[in-house]
Structures are given as structure tokens and as C-alpha cells.
Amino acid sequence: MRIAIASGKGGTGKTTVAIHLYQYLSKLLDDQIQLIDCDVEEPNDLLFIPDAVNIYENTVFTMVPEIDTAQCTFCKKCSDWCEFNAITLVKNLEFAEINKDLCHSCGACSLACEFGAIREYKNPIGTISGYKTTFGTGITEGRLRIGSSMQTSLIRELKKQTASNTVLQILDAPPGTSCPVVETVSGAAYVILVTEPTPFGLYDLKLTVDLLNNLKIPFGVIVNKAGLGNNAVYAYLAANNIELIGEIPFSKEYAESYSKGALLNNVPEELENIYLKTAERLLEVTGIKK
Amino acid sequence: MKTIITSTGNNLQSVFDPRFGRAGWFCVYDRESNSTNFIENSFKNVNGGAGTKTSEMAAELGANQVISGDFGPKARTMLEKFKIQMVILEDEGLSVQDIIDRINKN
Ligand code: SF4
Ligand code: SF4
């Protein structure tokens, strides 16, 4: 089973919520839980778990086509078929090129070409790495190659990486509401939206709520940094019948300890109880058995 | 020598369009014959690749030079490959005719 953690934008503390849930759900679920960092442009879950040990790293490839100008008749059929404007052909200059950052590796151009002028080669789009942690079944991280626009393909691969003995996967989604977020949450049984109780937080939350309603994926909200801002977010949740899974209070001292990367080992007891309660509530609303 | 001037409309009175990839129209001006020809930019609303595709269009039209207000990184790379000179003009609300007059004065 998969649960995704998303937020309308960056800076809501989604990462810290994700790694704490990973820790406390591990306690409740007998360590049979895996965390997958799907924020492939800026993965940072591991930054907070300095004792994680790398066990593998694989490069992920997509097939990218290339045009052989000696065979090409410049009929343009391939570029008519390419939905992503990745193919540039200029007959009078004998110029034929495929932009690998625009190409989505759909394979249409190879099918279109009747002159055998297109062949495909492997293009690296990023890496997937697995880490062992002292609790849970481990953390899997995807990291996009800089300049690549294949976030969605990398995330799709990432979702297939199930560590052994895992009953629950937590997917830490990228910020925002674009395609990589949709790819992360699709197929998830439940989505946790992390928000902060500020007007900006509420605005972004509404966008993500609309997205999930369209995708028909059940979700609930965790309010992070509770105590800051105002009460508008609670009014909104009540008015729209949205489940409030938990509230994580803002703690200045604790915020300082995670800027030092020293999280999880010195969680204040009060916060620990709140996270445990939140984790239990999450199991209740998703129907996962302990 | 052919120069493309990015334009918001399809005639000489139209105002200069400061965008390249998202320009509404291309005015192809041929200095030898002193003739102009307006071509609509069919890529102005595409999701991605506008810069690449408009550069391709410029090359197919046989342009040696493009006058616009701004060239994105993809357009720049392509136009360099095609050896098409890029001229950046500040947006002062000039018409295409004004720009042609300037070219001829120089
Ligand atoms: S594989 Fe698809 S996206 Fe890539 S160039 Fe060919 S048609 Fe375009
Ligand atoms: S379909 Fe084949 S022959 Fe036609 S332009 Fe594309 S690569 Fe060249």
C-alpha cells in the first residue's frame, strides 16, 4: 500500500513531517515501512538521516532517438508525429536534430520514419539509490540528472522499487501541483497534505485539494507549524469536511536542531506524542492494520 | 540578405513583437528586392519547444538575421547552429515599417 505526502508549495516542512512519520509509523508497523523520496529535483529526506547507509545506486535510462542525416529524406513525418516539438529539421541546411531535453521517449518518431533514418540510444535521466536505516525497510531516493525534464519517468521507475518486507510505502512528493506530483500520487491509497496555517499556505492547499478531488484520491491534512498564522485553514477544513489528521506545533528549539541535521534522535517528548498520535490516526483513517 | 522581424500583426503598420519564440508573426524582409512577406508563427502557443521550432522556421525561410526583443536559451543555441545573426532591439512600440526604415538608413 502506498501513501503520498504532498504540499502545495515548498517550505511547509513537508520533509520533516515525512521523515518523522517514517520513524513513528516504523514503530507502529513493526519496521515494515519504506520511505521513497520522489522530489527528484531536490531530494532531501536523507539529509536528516545522516546514519543511513547506501546499499545500491542504479542509473535510469530512457531511449532517445537520433536521426541519421545520410538516410533522412527530410519528409518531416517524424516531426509531425512528435507531440513535444523535439525534432528540428531544416532541409536546405541538411540539419536534423532531436533535442533530448524536450524528447519524452514516446517512440512515435521511430515508428513514423519509413526510411530507417532513426535509431534509438540510451540517455541517462537520473539515478535511483537505496539506503538502509536503523528503522523501517529503508529509504529510496531518486535524483534527476540536471537539465533533464524526465521527472515523471524517473518517478514512475522509483515507485517500482519496493524494499523487501514492506507493507507500506510513503512517497514524499515534489512540491507544487504539476505532472511530477500527479505521477507521485497516482496509485496512492491516500494522500497526506502538509500545510501551514497562513494565508499562502491555505491558498496552496486549496489548489492541491482541487487536484486530488479531480484525481479522486482520498486525503487528509496535517497542519504543520500550528500556532503560527491564523485559523482560516481550520475553518476551511471544517467547511469542506476534510479530515484533520494532526497538528504539529511550531517549536523554535527543535527547528534549530534540524538545521543541524540532528533530527529524530532528540525529539522532545511532547512532539513525540503528537507524532505518535498523528501516525495512529493515519492508520485509522487509511484502515491499515497494526 | 533576408531579415526576420518579429511582429504582433500581419502588416507593416503592426507593432514590433519583443518575443521571439512566442511572436505572433514573422515579417521576412528581403533587402535585395526590398520586399516583405508576413508568416504566422504557428508555434507561439505550444507547450514546449517554441524557441526550437521558431528557429527551425527562421532557417527554413532562409533568414540570415532575426530582429527581436529577446531570445530564450533554446532559440539562441539553435540560431547559432544555423548561423543566423540575432539582433536585440528594445521594445519602444515601433512598427515593423519603422524598423525597416532604420535598417535602410544604416
Ligand atoms: S521519441 Fe517521441 S518525443 Fe522523442 S522525438 Fe520521437 S516523437 Fe518526439
Ligand atoms: S521521418 Fe525519417 S526520413 Fe522523414 S524526416 Fe524524419 S527521420 Fe527523416
pLDDT (0 to 100) of residue A271: 84
CATH 3.40.50.300 in chain A, residue ranges: 2-49+133-286
pLDDT (0 to 100) of residue A225: 83
Task: Give the span between the Cα atoms of A270 and A273, in whole angstroms.
Answer: 5
The total of structural domains in chain B comes to 1
* Binding-site residues, ligand 2, Cβ < 6 A: A 67, 72-78, 89, 112-113, 115, 117-118
Number of H helices, E strands in chain B: 3, 5
Q: What is the dihedral of CA A159, A164, A167, A170, to 10 degrees?
A: -40
Interval B47-83: pLDDT, tens = 889 999 999 999 999 999 999 999 999 999 999 999 9
Q: Which residues of chain B does A84 touch, with a Cβ-Cβ cutoff of 8 Å?
A: 48-49
pLDDT (0 to 100) of residue A258: 61
CATH 3.30.70.20 in chain A, residue ranges: 62-124
* Binding-site residues, ligand 1, Cβ < 6 A: A 65, 81-82, 84, 86-87, 98, 103-109
- Given a contact cutoff of 8 angstroms between Cβ atoms, the answer to whether B27 and B15 are in contact is no
pLDDT (0 to 100) of residue A209: 95
**Residue B61 at interface with chain A, using a CB cutoff of 8 Å:** no
The proportion of chain B whose per-residue pLDDT surpasses 70, expressed as a percent, equals 100
The DSSP-derived string for chain A is -EEEEE-SSTTS-HHHHHHHHHHHHHHHTTT-EEEEE--TTS--GGGG-TT-EEEEEEEEEEEEEEE-TTT-----HHHHH-TT--EEEEGGGTEEEE-TTT-----HHHHH-SSS-EEEEEEEEEEEEEEE-SSSSEEEEEEEPTT---HHHHHHHHHT-PPTT-SEEEEEPPSSSSHHHHHHHTT-SEEEEEE-SSHHHHHHHHHHHHHHHHHT--EEEEEEEETBS-SHHHHHHHHTT-EEEEEEE--HHHHHHHHTT-TTTT--HHHHHHHHHHHHHHHHHHT---
Task: Give the span between the Cα atoms of B57 and B90, in whole angstroms.
Answer: 23
- pTM here is 0.72
Residue B84: count of CB within 10 angstroms of its CB? 21
Atom of ligand 2 nearest to the CA of A74: 5
pLDDT (0 to 100) of residue B102: 92
Q: Please write down the HEC assignment for all residues of A238-279.
A: HHCCCEEEEEEECCHHHHHHHHCCCCCCCCCHHHHHHHHHHH
| Residue to probe by mutation, ligand 1, list A62, A78, A82, most atoms within 8 Å of CB | A82
Task: Give the span between the Cα atoms of B100 and B3, in whole angstroms.
Answer: 9
Q: Tell me which CATH code domain A2-49+133-286 carries.
A: 3.40.50.300
Atom of ligand 1 nearest to the CA of A107: 1
Confidence of residue B92 (pLDDT cuts 50, 70, 90): confident
What is the phi/psi pair of residue A244, to 5°?
A: -95, 105
Task: Give the span between the Cα atoms of A142 and A128, in whole angstroms.
Answer: 5
Residue A17: count of CB within 10 angstroms of its CB? 21
* Residue A40 grid cell: 527528484
Q: Give me the domain span that covers residue B15.
A: 2-97
Here the ipTM equals 0.84
- Residue of B81, B85, B70 lying closest to B4 (CA atoms): B85
Q: Is B78 helix (H, G, I), strand (E, B) or coil?
A: helix
pLDDT (0 to 100) of residue B2: 95
Residues with Cβ within 8 Å of B101's Cβ and at least 6 positions away in sequence, in order, are none
Q: Is B13 helix (H, G, I), strand (E, B) or coil?
A: coil
Query: Does some domain include residue B105?
Result: no
pLDDT (0 to 100) of residue B37: 95
pLDDT (0 to 100) of residue A104: 86
Query: Does some domain include residue B32?
Result: yes
**Residue B28 at interface with chain A, using a CB cutoff of 8 Å:** no
Q: Is B86 helix (H, G, I), strand (E, B) or coil?
A: strand
Query: Does some domain include residue B103?
Result: no
Task: Give the span between the Cα atoms of B63 and B14, in whole angstroms.
Answer: 20
Query: Does some domain include residue B106?
Result: no
Instruction: Name the closest-CA residue to atom 8, ligand 1.
Output: A82
User: Which segments of chain B does DSSP mark as H helices, in order?
Assistant: 50-60, 73-81, 96-105
Q: Tell me which CATH code domain A62-124 carries.
A: 3.30.70.20
pLDDT along chain A (290 residues), means of 10: 88 86 91 95 91 95 93 96 95 92 90 95 94 94 91 94 90 91 94 90 92 94 84 92 90 65 70 88 82
Q: Is B2 helix (H, G, I), strand (E, B) or coil?
A: strand
What is the phi/psi pair of residue A76, to 5°?
A: 75, 5
CATH of residue B11's domain is 3.30.420.130
Query: Does some domain include residue B102?
Result: no
**Residue B81 at interface with chain A, using a CB cutoff of 8 Å:** yes
